[in-house]
Amino acid sequence: MRKRLLSGLIAIAVIGALAPLGMRTASSQPTAPLLADVDEATLNELALSYRILVNQGVLDAYGHVSIRHPKDPNRFLMARSGEVAPAYVTPNDIMEFDLDSRAIDLRGRALHSERFIHGEIYKVRPDVNAVVHSHSRAVIPFGVTKTPLRAIFHNASFLGEGVPVYEIRDESGENNDMLVNTNAKG
């Protein structure tokens, strides 16, 4: 009984915490026209990840999240772009892409121009199951200065020996739009 009560209180707390974010619970999310071969819980979790990362200051208006397709490692799932900000992504905004970042079912929806980051990472790293592209203010300085981002406590050990910095001018020259918008740049 105590365990059920505690679970209920946690569920109420989570729902209460999501309300200020304009978030609905999974049961209130629309169920059609979701992707046929992806379960609703997965789509809800991906949509929720956008909102959580916005709420935590990781994603801005131009950030995006993807996951490797749960049934096909040669595909990934990511929200559409253009009409919906990351803070308002729902399961109906999730699209399926192949690893060349081509939409499987476009249906007239706008695409993130930098979806190629995701496709190329999934191609070369079969062990990666999620990608976040962010313009986090906490990380940007490490990309534009000579100070390397490195682990300074045990929870950051995944940084290993350091983090590579992508310099778009190496790929696109000095005069470029600063977007990773092709497979080659990705």
Provide the 10 A C-beta neighbour count for residue 26: 13
What pLDDT is recorded for position 30? 42
CA distance 142 to 4: 46
8 Å CB contact between 15 and 24: no
pLDDT of 18:
44
What confidence tens digit (pLDDT) does each residue in 1-53 have?
Answer: 434 333 333 333 333 444 444 444 333 344 344 687 999 999 999 999 999 99
Work out the average pLDDT over 91-116. Answer: 92
Please name the residue ranges forming H helices in the chain: 2-18, 40-55, 116-124, 140-144, 168-172
Digit-coded pLDDT (tens) for 65-89: 999 999 999 999 999 986 789 999 9
The string of pLDDT tens digits covering residues 127-186 is: 999 999 988 888 888 888 888 888 888 888 888 877 877 777 777 777 775 667 677 776
Q: pLDDT value at position 109? A: 87
Mean pLDDT throughout 57-69? 92
Please report how many Cα atoms fall inside a 13 Å half-sphere around the Cα of residue 30, on the Cβ side. 10
The full set of domain ranges for the chain reads: 18-136
pTM, whole model, 2 decimals? 0.73
Write out pLDDT tens, residues 110-132. Answer: 898 889 999 999 999 999 999 99
Residue 37 near residue 71 (C-beta atoms within 8 A): yes
Q: Which of 63, 50, 57, 61 is nearest to 137 (CA)?
A: 57
Catalytic residue among 45, 96, 114, 161: 114
Confidence check: pLDDT of 64 > 50: yes
The CATH number of 18-136 is 3.40.225.10
Over residues 87-107, mean pLDDT: 94
Quick check: is 114 catalytic? yes
